Amino acid sequence: MIGIRRAGSAGLAAGLLFLLGGIQAALATPSAPALLWPVDGDPAVAPSADLAWQPVAGALEYYIRVYDWTGKPVMVGRTPAAAAAAALRAGGPYYWHVWARDASGWSASSGLRRFAVVLCPFTARGWRFVKHVVVDPKSPWTDTGVDLGSSNLGLFAWGRTQPTTPPHQAYPSGFGPDGAEFPAGPNRPLAPLPSAPFMGLLVRIGDRGEPFFLGRSRNLSSELGAGRLFLGVNDDACEDNQGTLYVDIYRQP
């Protein structure tokens, strides 16, 4: 009888553990999304501000809210992707946060971040929009698919990159298109352009052209020559970089 009682107790305990596990699974919710871009306080670009966050495992959809400085919602929506484009007027600050939903329910909020929206100078001049290019800092060079030819091109960039994975303690917010406040050369002599800011955005004409500094905005004169434009960050070891830079290309009428 003692053996039977022990077996019964063990079975009861296992059943309770199974039941508790089921309750915990039912109550479990996904982790809150980690916001990526824009970095808190960073500018986005009108009229379409690209917002991105880290994908949450098992998420079926995300719920995003964007507010103006008065707290009024200016964008509310759901998306299956870990990114959204917000059509906003230049100005700010704007505030945004995101929730994730999986089969068990909704996560907590990502927490609020703020950003401003700036108007691209080439839009203000009436230049024609050509293409939106996403620059992966893990790749030494990104082919824009756009050629510099008989008319001038305007390039306007934003976004944020990190030179290491996980983020380096010395650069917790990473770098925008203008890069660091110091040149790459002293510590990265093999960087594509040692005299330019470390992690700054570079451009070259043709796949064998000499790189030059682009930064956030630059007018590329047709006098520089004809050829395909390539973009990259000023780093000699790209494989552990993270983040994204975005570049809008315009052509002068």
Confidence at residue 87, expressed as pLDDT on a 0 to 100 scale: 84
The structural architecture, per CATH, of the domain 35-119 is Sandwich (2.60)
pTM above 0.75, yes or no: no
For the residues of the chain, what is the DSSP string, one character each?
-HHHHHHHHHHHHHHHHHHHHHHHHHH--PPPPPEEESPTT-EEEESEEEEEEPPPTT--EEEEEEE-TTS-EEEEEEESSSEEEEE--SEEEEEEEEEEEETTEE------EEEEEEE-HHHHTTPEEEEEEEE-TTSS-EEEEEEE-SS-EEEEEEEEEESSSSPPTT-TT-B-TT--SSBSTTT-TTSSSTTSBTT-EEEEESTTSPPEE--SEEEE-GGG--EEEEEEES-S--TT-EEEEEEEEEE--
CATH number of this structure's domain 121-251, picked from the four choices 3.40.50.1170, 2.60.120.430, 3.40.50.2000, 3.30.1050.10: 2.60.120.430
Segments making up each domain of the chain, as ranges:
35-119, 121-251
Per-residue pLDDT of the chain (253 residues; tens, 9 = 90+): 333 333 344 444 444 444 444 444 445 689 999 998 777 877 766 556 778 898 999 999 999 999 999 999 999 999 999 888 888 888 889 999 999 999 999 999 999 999 888 778 898 888 999 998 999 999 999 999 999 998 999 999 988 888 987 777 787 778 889 999 999 998 899 999 999 999 999 999 998 899 999 998 999 999 999 999 999 999 999 999 988 888 999 999 9
Q: What is the pLDDT of residue 1?
A: 33
Q: Write down the pLDDT at residue 83.
A: 85
